[in-house]
A and B are shown apart, each in its own frame.
Chain A
Amino acid sequence: MAELAIELTGVNKYFGEVHANKNISFAVAKGSIHGIIGENGAGKSTLMSILYGYYQADSGSIRLNGQEVRIRNSHDAIARGIGMVHQHFMLVDTFTVLENIVLGAEQGVALKQSLQAARDHLAALNRDYGLQVDPDAIVGELGVGEQQRVEILKALYRGADVLILDEPTAVLTPQEADDLFRILRLLKAQGKTVLLITHKLREVLDITDAVTVMRAGEIVGNVVTADVGKEDLADLMVGRKVNLQLDKAPARLGKTVLQVSNLSLTDARGVKLLDDVSFELHAGEIVGIAGVSGNGQSELLEILSGMREASAGSVRYNGTELTTLQTREPKAAAYRRLGIAHVPEDRSREGLVKDFSTFENAILGYHDDPAIQRGLLFNRKAIIERCRRFISEFDVRPANAFRRSGLFSGGNQQKVILAREIDSDPQLMLIGQPTRGVDIGAIEFIHKRLMALRNAGKALLLVSVELDEILALSDRIIVMNAGRVSGELPAAQATATELGLLMGGHK
């Protein structure tokens, strides 16, 4: 048996009544890449937070390199050679790479000495791991992939032997992800240990040596990657048979529902967020918009749903010009009345009010509906009944209309939003990141619902950063890069590689 870098035995963590980690025991071999997968809320993040010292385990032991340790805070973790690359980078945008790396690890009084020492050290790290980061570049001007490498450098600079990466590819193009994997392999070759937290099965299969699968706070499997396939892992994660393949009947296109022409959006600083975007959408089809997040997809959804005004261009919906539409109420309300439903990208910040009970969120945006008014007050009974219908039709768990929405898992929150929007019987459905932070079981369900909507002759515009999702659902794919449409192709002919190149604007 190889030497062990990390060994956890019987680790438990409670949050009040919630048993977030149940009796966790697993070991990671030194110099390996170890994947930790599980649905949202399976306890991966809690476990990693225990390793990195954010939380203390209520019981159990942690051994690093064979030695029992107590990790009280992140300083402890760093001192013991554990480094963490967060999903959201912890960098100061206006500082250079070098300054960011030294930040918090300065030596002596004068910054200059620290910087010079760091510069030499960094050059060595850069060389050893092929990271190719310019130490004098301003972090804010770097691409996402490079910023991530700065985070990795930061951890290595602090002497990390164990590197924890939390969903590292969530913000990367496929090519950037490949670059990252190349670096991780180099790290492994140099004897570093990598812990990779992810929910993307393909990545786990590609790069890890061993995988720990978590479900509902427990470990349900410790497997050698070479011995398993995608389906096996998915089944383990969900705890039942999962059908990852979606039945896609040929699309029966109807009339043109949406016609976007030369749409542009310039922000206050004069930056073009959308640049001359044009496309069409027909009844009975799903058009997927692929792209790394932050390339104009969000702004496009905001304009089409009436939450934001375009700077130029036209949007025709069922023959009505939307950009010049005169309304007394806010446009978002008017569009909804015209039959445009919207599942927003940022579910918890836009799609619902976390502090509301679920029945209150079941009417958000449709609170004007005469069916739920009774004189000057709401017809509370009708609202609760409607919410109960949503809950049973969309299998929301726990089935409690009075529970605060914020207490539900991401998948169940999304089901409530989806139920609400589908229930309005829309002509056009705008959907942003339908399955972000949603567990596999719910993804399957949500995809089936969206497909059913398309087969019922509705027009769907799908924005997602998950290429697999775009490929599985769409009939046609539009790729966006830097606010422009960088390509449009039928889904049947699209491959991940080709889309990746278009997403990076390389074509």
Chain B
Amino acid sequence: MSQPSNLPRWATLWLMPVLNLFAALLVSGLVITLIGEDPVECLQLMINGAFGYPEGIGYTLFYTTSFIFTGLAVAAAFHAGLFNIGGEGQMYLAGLGVTLVCLGLDFLPGWVVIPLALLASMVFGAAWAFIPGYLQAKRGSHIVVTTIMFNFIASALMTWLLVDKLIMPGSQTPATRLFAESAWIPMLHELAANLGVELPQTPLNATFFLALLALVLFYLMVWRSHWGYTLRTVGLNEKAARYAGMPVSKVIIVAMCFSGALAGLAAVNELLGSTHRMNLAFTNGIGFVGIAVALMGRNHPFGILLSALLFGALTQGGLDLSFEKPAITHEMIILTQGLIILFCGALENLFQTPLALAFKQMTKR
């Protein structure tokens, strides 16, 4: 017998994540103190690095863009009751789709190549998610296990392709040649320059608007459409879905494809928006951060926007910080991210009981 939750809705939705975030930052601060740095100064440096100057903001939003996509990918599967850990691999494979289109069709104009590359990223990402989805729906293989394994398969496959097949002839670095410039997605500072506004050079590009659009579409699809209704029914109560005559297996497979397609779009931001070529391991953990983003954002687009922004700021501010303070390495930033995931995910309800008690005291008075 579990006692019903005594917390008001706003506290569960807002107060708890904020408290969890503070707890994570507090522990990070302790670690920073232990290695002999001043945590307050570090926090200031980080915030300043992420939001303190135009260039920093540009980088923060660039990272945010990718995190929105991978966060939405995790949320999409989550609403169907699936835990897709494979965003990393799906994004990696989507990079292959983008690359094949851009390298193979670079004689075509940009307005043809870019939409085709977008489509390819979604199709490749979806295809890589389809297999675990199919195995879950038809064979009962657990999606967590298969998606993790597919990350490794994707990594091995892509390493082979990049080292052996797609590498730029004559180069030692496992990376493709540059894509034709027509296929580059316009940078924000270029767009702004056209309007006569001067912005600093950052990798922030038009994909950012696509991510915002994806947030809105995600909301409409999941909460306002027939399709989203079946998705959520399957996710919340599979028996009720069968009772309602919903094709449960099909819904699971389609949900995974949807999830994979969203993860795939993150590759567009990285490749067409920034590097303009595919490097080895260009995904760099973005798929995994998506899990944290979705968890913290409570699988809702608005929450995902906020938590993607937080992780974007952590990434950018962290880079700036490690530049200023050599003692704070990249690993420290990963530690902080890890603590946030720990407190917001695994220890999500840590403060529930004390908070409930506090509320009870307040209402009694």
Q: Are B245 and A306 in contact (CB under 8 A)?
A: yes
Q: Are B244 and A332 in contact (CB under 8 A)?
A: yes
A378 in the interface (beta carbon within 8 A): yes
Known contacts being A16-B4, A353-B236, A367-B230, is A377 close to B246, with CB within 8 Å?
Answer: no
Distance from A392 Cβ to chain B, minimum over Cβ atoms (Å): 24
Q: Are A367 and B243 in contact (CB under 8 A)?
A: no
Q: Are B229 and A360 in contact (CB under 8 A)?
A: yes
Residues of chain A within 8 A (CB-CB) of B360 are: 14, 16
A351 in the interface (beta carbon within 8 A): yes
Contact of B226 (CB < 8 Å), options: A342, A346, A368 = A368
A373 in the interface (beta carbon within 8 A): yes
Q: Are B239 and A349 in contact (CB under 8 A)?
A: yes
Q: Are A349 and B225 in contact (CB under 8 A)?
A: no
A313 in the interface (beta carbon within 8 A): no
Residues of chain B within 8 A (CB-CB) of A354 are: 236-237
Residues of chain A within 8 A (CB-CB) of B359 are: 16
Closest A residue to B7 by CB, please name it: A16
Chain B residues numbered 239-266 whose CB sits less than 8 Å from any CB in chain A: 239-240, 242-247
Contact of B225 (CB < 8 Å), options: A14, A356, A378 = A378
Q: How far is the CA of A363 from the CA of B5 in the complex (A)?
A: 28
Q: Are B243 and A350 in contact (CB under 8 A)?
A: yes
Chain B binding site: helix, strand, loop or mixed by DSSP? helix
Residues of chain B within 8 A (CB-CB) of A144 are: none
How many contacting A-B pairs (Cβ < 8 A)? 89
Contact of A15 (CB < 8 Å), options: B6, B232, B233, B242 = B6
Distance from B230 Cβ to chain A, minimum over Cβ atoms (Å): 7
Q: How far is the CA of A39 from the CA of B246 in the complex (A)?
A: 35
Distance from A391 Cβ to chain B, minimum over Cβ atoms (Å): 20
Known contacts being A49-B1, A367-B229, is A377 close to B240, with CB within 8 Å?
Answer: no
A235 in the interface (beta carbon within 8 A): no
Residues of chain A within 8 A (CB-CB) of B172 are: none
Could you tell me how many residues of chain B have their Cβ less than 8 Å away from some Cβ of chain A? Answer: 27
B13 in the interface (beta carbon within 8 A): no
B220 in the interface (beta carbon within 8 A): yes
A397 in the interface (beta carbon within 8 A): no
Closest B residue to A45 by CB, please name it: B1
Distance from A375 Cβ to chain B, minimum over Cβ atoms (Å): 9
Q: How far is the CA of A363 from the CA of B225 in the complex (A)?
A: 13
A388 in the interface (beta carbon within 8 A): no
Q: How far is the CA of A58 from the CA of B191 in the complex (A)?
A: 65
Distance from A430 Cβ to chain B, minimum over Cβ atoms (Å): 11
B325 in the interface (beta carbon within 8 A): no
Q: Are A330 and B247 in contact (CB under 8 A)?
A: yes
Residues of chain A within 8 A (CB-CB) of B244 are: 332-333, 364-365, 367
B3 in the interface (beta carbon within 8 A): yes
Distance from A502 Cβ to chain B, minimum over Cβ atoms (Å): 30
Q: Are A307 and B243 in contact (CB under 8 A)?
A: yes
B330 in the interface (beta carbon within 8 A): no
Known contacts being A368-B226, A376-B225, A378-B226, is A330 close to B245, with CB within 8 Å?
Answer: yes
Would you give 20 A-B contacts (Cβ < 8 Å), ordered by A?
Answer: A14-B360, A16-B5, A16-B356, A330-B242, A333-B246, A335-B245, A336-B245, A349-B237, A352-B237, A353-B233, A353-B240, A355-B237, A356-B233, A364-B233, A364-B243, A365-B243, A367-B229, A367-B230, A377-B220, A377-B225
A interface vs B, CB < 8 Å? 14-18, 49, 54-55, 305-307, 329-336, 342, 344, 346, 349-356, 360, 363-365, 367-368, 373, 376-378, 380
B interface vs A, CB < 8 Å? 1, 3-6, 220, 224-226, 229-230, 232-233, 236-237, 239-240, 242-247, 356, 359-360, 363
